[in-house]
Structure 1
Amino acid sequence: MMLSDESTFQVNVTSEIGTLRALLIHSPDSGLGKVVPSKAQDWLFEDIVHLDTMRRDEYDYYIKLLLYFLDPDKIKGKLQQVDSTSADRSFFKPEHPNFHASTKVIEIQTLLADILADDDIRKKLTASVCAIESCSYSLQQKLIDTPPVELAKIFISGSLYKDQMIFAPIPNLIFSRDIGITINNYILLNKPAKKARARETLLARYILFNHPLFAAYHDNILEIPDNIHHFLRPGEDHEDKTTLEGGDVMMVSPNHVIIGCSERTSISGANEAIKLLFEHQAVKKVTIVKIPHKRDYMHIDTVFTQVKQNVWVLLGSLAITEAPVPALEPMNWFSDKKTKEKDKLEIIQFTHGESKPRFFNSLEELLSDVSVNDLHSTEPVQFIYSGNNTFPFDAREQWTDSCNLLALKDGVVLGYDRNDKTVEAFRQKGFTIIKVADLLEKFENDELKPQELQDTLILMPSAELSRARGGFHCMSLPLLRDAVV
């Protein structure tokens, strides 16, 4: 089924908190249920997950909530019917006839199936996938002859039939934020650091350049080039590669983008992104936030995200750019000195047309500047800290994505229910805390309307989702948000 609404479809994101109107997501597919322990870390997963629980008891709530906010006609008045008739969760599976097929909560697999209906695109994309995965020529021909809906499933799950794996799955596609980021009416495509994400980047590129939904924006899709003679670089050193992932890019105001240099985004990648954004006059300011290259952090959106114009959630232990050096024994000091440069936080801001960059001493200073000077907040800037800034809960809850929240509108955010101390910190700041199941029931019974919610943290079940090491900020690629007034 072709998702095509070109006449009214728009791409435009000017902040992290404007009312969300359209986004790209990918529901958990069968490939997540085929991740094996020996390959989990190679495929960028920390653990294996129970797929049915993830779908039925966790991610399904996410889809329902998004529909109530973005496309209520697809769900309002149908909640009980959906729950009672969808034992296999066909409502959320693109290949099933009663799939919700929203043009606002947009499933990547549906877009992929749409473009594969074109013979020329199907042949080209199949050849490209087979080249990446080193498939035989006979398998390539077999895939070309596969119906588009089934072929889309194969490209994502890695399975030719229900249980016959022909290449690795791409389980990280659930984290749709990382394939690109919307910057005003531009889309900046990622350049992944890990081989495990190469196929999903290829699929995203084909979708964005070939699906009619994005036809008006083809000239606004920005691809990061490699440095000249990149093929002569030795080894696989991250610092020398040109890499950038969407979790390291935040569109915080109409003229300002924050880019993280992290485990997944290199200095070279950030530099190429700055040049592209300034060349196309997409923004006027780019701030680089260099965080330690550790799996604990991965992307900047695991360290901080925005809650409302004047409120941010962040990891307090990483907020200061460089902690004072304590008195140490000589050998300990020497050991610390070797790692200090690599592990410290650095923040530098570039403004188009200005020769001198600006430096910030802490995340709080940068984020306060965004709230006051970019978003013109008139209320005092406030910070909510992971784990309520209490050791060891700050680190434990940051690991399970206490700082990785998705704003549905200014002040209304989604987070995991397992981060108790962070939830308490939200409560102390005056936020209403509500479980998603209770909220959906109130929406369905007209006890509440989505547009009426203010200063609310919606708690989502997370036992299996949190094993994948990403929150709802990671699991969303916003395409359209209202402007922040």
Structure 2
Amino acid sequence: MQIYIPSETAPLKKVIVHTPGHEVSLVNPELKDELLFDDIIFEEDAREEHLDMLKVFRAAMPDDGEIHEITDLALYCLKDESTRNWFVNQLVEQLPYENLAVVQHILNDLNPKQLLQFVVEGTLDNENPFSLHPAPNLLFTRDLAAVVGQQIILSKAAKRARARESLLMELILLHHPIFTGSADHLIYTGGSQSIEGGDVLVVNEKIVLIGMSERTSFSGLVGVANQLLNGNVEHVLAVDIPKKRSSMHLDTIFTFADENECIVFPPAIVEQTNNVVELYQNGHDDAILSRQHSSLKGALETLTQTSFNFIHCGGENRTTQFREQWTDGANVFALAPGIIVGYERNTKTFEALAENGYRLMTQFEFIEEFADKPFDHNDSGKIAISFQGHELCRGRGGARCMTLPILRN
């Protein structure tokens, strides 16, 4: 299967997601901060909201488009005994603080479904009291990897709460047939470096943005940038963003709606200056050079020779900008150029989109119109699709956070 992402907005063909499961019901409110959640989620409603979002995806994607559940991919890999033993060894070696060595013999005897349940939910059977915290953040598959052209960045989680997810992603990348041939294009992050997929945005085949955030370290950013620049990427824009929970990744304050149109949180993007550094190679000896840009908008326009339109998350009112960024108003996901999905509760952001030429549609309107006929973004004009996410947004992640595209046309 071809793995290829030429931009943030090229028409979606294949994507990896995770519909919330029982793991979100295992989040103890006393542990929610440690598990990187701001609130507890009601599992049944969150599942329904997520499945409804996927119905929008299917209506917009071509007939041969594919939506893969990450647990299905992992389960396929774990059916091979040697792969299963390899994975258990990785769990024991990579997570020494979990003391898994004491139950390694038990883990080796689990069937594929039981082992996957242990990794995601943290529990063994009723006869064995050994347990781990659940992994509720698996919902946010975006952070586990990033595809840039044909290269795949395997994320290195900054927080222990997400370390098992990183190992699940590595399992899939190395052992699932849809990634056959991709091993030569993998980018690893070693040591204490960290990088997460929410900080990586693909402008086009030659330009990539990487946020230096709460979750992506300077050393992680530079290490990945070097490897990208040794491939087909010509410019990496390192964007320094506030190291805060509310802006944990670059895509929580900045996403692409169209090829040269973005939704931005003004206080962290528009009002910041001299926070963008361009990394590029010297054409003679491949040394990495750098130059500073006064703004992200200016850097994008300089490198692409195209004007960019920055649409404000929350509109022009300061309070609604902060409120709607908190509920992921800036975290939209493009199904095609100018075709985006986001939480319906961010009403001022949708009003700003309408003022910039987007047709506003609810999830139900879009599905009714396009579920039974081919969707062509070239004929539809720009559309901003709102979907319900009252439970999903409690986990602090929007449509882009919940998707890992692996193929765009």
TM-score, length-scaled by structure 1: 0.78
Q: Is the 8 A contact 2:313 2:321 kept in 1?
A: yes
Q: In angstroms, what is the RMSD of aligned CA positions? A: 2.2
Which residue does 1:118 correspond to in 2? Answer: 80
Relative to structure 1, is the Cα distance of residues 152 and 347 closer, same or farther in structure 2, using a 3 angstrom cutoff? Answer: same
- d(CA) in 2 for partners of 1:384 and 1:145? 54
Q: Superposed, which structure 2 residues align to 1:48-197 within 5 Å?
A: 48-56=40-48, 58-70=49-61, 72=63, 104-130=66-92, 132=95, 133-135=98-100, 137=102, 139-161=103-125, 166-197=131-162
Q: Is the 8 A contact 1:179 1:246 kept in 2?
A: yes
Match of 1:353 among 260, 271, 282: 282
- Partner of 1:357, secondary structure, is strand
Q: Superposed, which structure 2 residues align to 1:25-40 within 5 Å?
A: 25-40=17-32
Q: Is the 8 A contact 2:229 2:280 kept in 1?
A: no
- Partner of 2:14, secondary structure, is strand
For each residue in 1:146-196, what CA deviation from the matched residue of structure 2 results, as whole angstroms up to 9, or x when unmatched?
Answer: 322342233212233599882111111111111110011010111111111
Match of 2:249 among 299, 311, 331: 299
Match of 2:39 among 28, 44, 47: 47
Q: Is the 8 A contact 1:290 1:347 kept in 2?
A: yes
- d(CA) in 2 for partners of 1:468 and 1:165? 26
User: C-alpha displacement at 1:361, in angstroms?
Assistant: 1.6
Q: Is the 8 A contact 1:68 1:450 kept in 2?
A: no
- d(CA) in 2 for partners of 1:174 and 1:432? 29
Match of 2:295 among 342, 357, 362: 362
Q: Is the 8 A contact 1:24 1:107 kept in 2?
A: yes
Q: Superposed, which structure 2 residues align to 1:213-228 within 5 Å?
A: 213-226=178-191
- In the alignment, structure 1 residue 312 sits paired with structure 2 residue 262: yes
- d(CA) in 2 for partners of 1:415 and 1:316? 18
Q: Is the 8 A contact 1:321 1:347 kept in 2?
A: no
Q: Relative to structure 2, which stretch is displaced further, 402-411 or 62-71?
A: 62-71
TM-score, length-scaled by structure 2: 0.92
Relative to structure 1, is the Cα distance of residues 27 and 161 closer, same or farther in structure 2, using a 3 angstrom cutoff? Answer: farther
- Partner of 2:315, secondary structure, is helix
User: C-alpha displacement at 1:130, in angstroms?
Assistant: 4.4
Matched residue type, 1:449:
F
- d(CA) in 2 for partners of 1:20 and 1:53? 26
- In the alignment, structure 1 residue 23 sits paired with structure 2 residue 3: no
Which residue does 2:388 correspond to in 1? Answer: 461
Which residue does 1:480 correspond to in 2? Answer: 407
For each residue in 1:288-342, what CA deviation from the matched residue of structure 2 results, as whole angstroms up to 9, or x when unmatched?
Answer: 000111112111101111111221110112224657xxxxxxxxxxxxxxxxxxx
- d(CA) in 2 for partners of 1:266 and 1:455? 36
For each residue in 1:2-35, what CA deviation from the matched residue of structure 2 results, as whole angstroms up to 9, or x when unmatched?
Answer: xxxxxxx100111101111111111112111111
Matched residue type, 2:178:
L
Which residue does 1:212 correspond to in 2? Answer: 177
- In the alignment, structure 1 residue 401 sits paired with structure 2 residue 323: no
- Partner of 2:181, secondary structure, is helix
Q: Relative to structure 2, which stretch is displaced further, 295-304 or 381-390?
A: 381-390
Relative to structure 1, is the Cα distance of residues 123 and 356 closer, same or farther in structure 2, using a 3 angstrom cutoff? Answer: closer
Matched residue type, 2:281:
H
Q: Is the 8 A contact 2:2 2:407 kept in 1?
A: yes
Q: Give the aligned length.
A: 400
Q: Relative to structure 2, which stretch is displaced further, 60-69 or 193-202?
A: 60-69
Which residue does 1:470 correspond to in 2? Answer: 397
**Higher radius of gyration, 1 or 2:** 1
Q: Superposed, which structure 2 residues align to 1:318-467 within 5 Å?
A: 318-320=268-270, 322=272, 346-353=275-282, 356-369=289-302, 372-373=304-305, 380-444=307-371, 446=373, 449=375, 451=377, 452-467=379-394
Which residue does 2:233 correspond to in 1? Answer: 283
Q: Is the 8 A contact 1:321 1:346 kept in 2?
A: no
Matched residue type, 2:208:
V
Q: Is the 8 A contact 1:321 1:361 kept in 2?
A: no
Return 5+ residue gaps in structure 2 as ranges.
Answer: none
- In the alignment, structure 1 residue 12 sits paired with structure 2 residue 4: yes
- d(CA) in 1 for partners of 2:201 and 2:336? 16
Relative to structure 1, is the Cα distance of residues 353 and 395 closer, same or farther in structure 2, using a 3 angstrom cutoff? Answer: same
Relative to structure 1, is the Cα distance of residues 321 and 430 closer, same or farther in structure 2, using a 3 angstrom cutoff? Answer: closer
